[in-house]
Amino acid sequence: MSIVQRSSLQAIPAYKQGATPGTDEKAFKLSSNENPFPPLASVTAGIAAELGTINQYPNAAAPELVGVLAERLGVEPETIALGAGSVEVAGQLIHATTNPGDEVLFAWRSFEAYPILTHVAGATPVMVPLDSAGAHDLEAMAEAITERTSLVFICNPNNPTGTIVDTAAVDAFMARVPAHVLVVIDEAYLHFNTSADTAIGMDFFRRYPNIAVLHTFSKAYGLAGMRIGYAVAPAAVAANLRKTAVPFGVSALAQRAALLSLEHEAELQTRIDELVAAREALLGTLRANGIATTESQANFIWLSTGEDTMRVDAALREAGIWARPFPGDGIRVSIGSAEANAIIAATLTSVLAEAPAHV
């Protein structure tokens, strides 16, 4: 007799992690938008000092970290909820706001985990196509809201296209969103976003009662392996996020690493500035060689290679670059070291001269 299992899981794909080159020392893993810099020495030293206490459970409330975040963001501590990366907090948000059959609305293509997390929660994903520039079509998203919509994700900058939504567009969108629908602005790549017109999640949180904001320590702070992120949400929503969170999901080591990173943001900003400069240099080189690219405000670039995607990805792998292909759509390539970025530019210039990417 077979073990009884949840039948609906058969239709839900597992999250696909960015491919890794394994033991090939000459290859560059640029498939997961990781920070190419090593951890700050102060962070690793601080974590090492905590290793003697890993036999103990962490403080699930994380009062020190929550207190620092609340002070920096100018919010009450009860509006902050932690999780094992912002993806886990995104799952908390879906579980906290939806009943079976309710709808979760988001642009597509966007973060791969959104539809998976929605299905797992028993809700229904509603995917609204990006516009021709690879950006959120907020007007179409507003039209797609129904009486069953409970939650909306706006990924800004969008993963995997790197595009942004501007303040005026989000204001116009919010004017059409029913008051009971929670709108989540997912800002995993906030620190790399230098657009003067971009919507800022915390500004909207202060102006609207049905906004939540997602932040992570995985990208700019370089703590992807520690798994820590958080939401800023209305207090009642944040309280339910804590109910849906895995108990002790954020380790004491992760809490300590986040605190130390916040203490050394000036040093981290130097790295962020370098990555942004490298992104702009790579985009500039590609465009100078006649390759169309989407404007990116994240720590990656996007190429709309369409049906040519797997051929281009194969050429990148042959050159030692492991990117993230989305068959039939395009390729996302994280910004890496100077050596890696030079290989990306040379390879794409060569392979796309035959079949230029389109935006």
The total number of residues shown for the chain amounts to 359
Provide CB contacts within 8 A for 99, sequence distance 6+.
Answer: 122, 123, 150
pLDDT at residue number 356: 46
Residue-range definition of the domain harbouring residue 243 = 51-263
- Determine contact, residues 324/331, Cβ cutoff 8 Å: yes
Domain shared by 91 and 236, yes or no: yes
Domain shared by 142 and 257, yes or no: yes
The CATH number of the domain holding residue 144 is: 3.40.640.10
Residue 295, token pair as written in the block: 């404007």
One-letter amino acid for residue 261 of the chain: S
Domain shared by 210 and 138, yes or no: yes
- Report which of 171, 218, 206 is spatially closest to residue 79, judged by C-alpha positions: 206
- Determine contact, residues 243/77, Cβ cutoff 8 Å: no
**pLDDT over 60 (residue 358):** no
Q: How far apart are CA 313 and CA 327, in angstroms?
A: 10
- Determine contact, residues 86/230, Cβ cutoff 8 Å: yes
Q: Does residue 306 come out as left (phi exceeding 0), alpha (psi in the -120 to 50 range) or beta?
A: left
As a dihedral over the C-alpha atoms of residue 26, residue 35, residue 344, residue 300, rounded to 10 degrees, the angle is 150
Percent of the chain with pLDDT over 70: 97
Residue 62, token pair as written in the block: 């994380």
Q: How far apart are CA 232 and CA 201, in angstroms?
A: 9
- Kindly state the average pLDDT of the residues 47-62: 96
Domain shared by 153 and 295, yes or no: no
Residue 227, token pair as written in the block: 């798994």
Domain shared by 152 and 219, yes or no: yes
Query: Of the candidates 220, 245, 263, which is a domain's last residue?
Result: 263
Query: What is the count of structural domains for the chain?
Result: 2
Query: Of the candidates 209, 231, 263, which is a domain's last residue?
Result: 263
Domain shared by 81 and 18, yes or no: no
Q: Is residue 2 part of a domain?
A: no
pLDDT at residue number 23: 63
Domain shared by 16 and 126, yes or no: no
Q: Is residue 191 part of a domain?
A: yes
Q: Is residue 332 part of a domain?
A: yes
* Residue corresponding to tokens 């370089």: 222
Provide CB contacts within 8 A for 212, sequence distance 6+.
Answer: 93, 182, 183, 184, 185, 205, 231, 232, 233, 234, 237
Work out the burial of residue 281: count CB atoms within 10 Å of its CB; fewer than 13 is exposed, 13-18 middle, 19 or more buried: middle
* Residue corresponding to tokens 């794909």: 13
- Kindly state the average pLDDT of the residues 310-334: 97
Measuring CA to CA, how many Å separate 42 from each of 228, 257, 268? Answer: 18, 9, 11
**pLDDT over 60 (residue 107):** yes
Domain shared by 160 and 292, yes or no: no
- Kindly state the average pLDDT of the residues 58-79: 98
Residue 219, token pair as written in the block: 């990208």
Q: How far apart are CA 267 and CA 313, in angstroms?
A: 34
- Determine contact, residues 92/81, Cβ cutoff 8 Å: yes
Domain shared by 77 and 215, yes or no: yes
Query: Of the candidates 224, 244, 263, which is a domain's last residue?
Result: 263
The CATH number of the domain holding residue 323 is: 3.90.1150.10
Phi, psi of 341 (to 5 degrees): -65, -35
Confidence grade of residue 22 (pLDDT, cut at 50, 70, 90): low
**pLDDT over 60 (residue 80):** yes
One-letter amino acid for residue 275 of the chain: L
Residue 329, token pair as written in the block: 């759509």
pLDDT at residue number 354: 57
Q: Is residue 308 part of a domain?
A: yes
pTM score, whole prediction: 0.95
At 124-146, the pLDDT tens digits run: 999 999 999 999 999 999 999 99
Q: Is residue 93 part of a domain?
A: yes
Q: Is residue 119 part of a domain?
A: yes
Domain shared by 202 and 163, yes or no: yes
What does DSSP assign to residue 314?
H
Q: Is residue 357 part of a domain?
A: no
Domain shared by 259 and 274, yes or no: no
Work out the burial of residue 27: count CB atoms within 10 Å of its CB; fewer than 13 is exposed, 13-18 middle, 19 or more buried: middle
- Determine contact, residues 33/299, Cβ cutoff 8 Å: yes
Mean pLDDT of the chain: 94
Confidence grade of residue 258 (pLDDT, cut at 50, 70, 90): very high
Q: Is residue 135 part of a domain?
A: yes
**pLDDT over 80 (residue 17):** no
pLDDT at residue number 317: 96
Domain shared by 201 and 102, yes or no: yes
At 147-191, the pLDDT tens digits run: 999 999 999 999 999 999 999 999 999 999 999 999 999 999 999
Residue 198 bridge partners (DSSP): 166
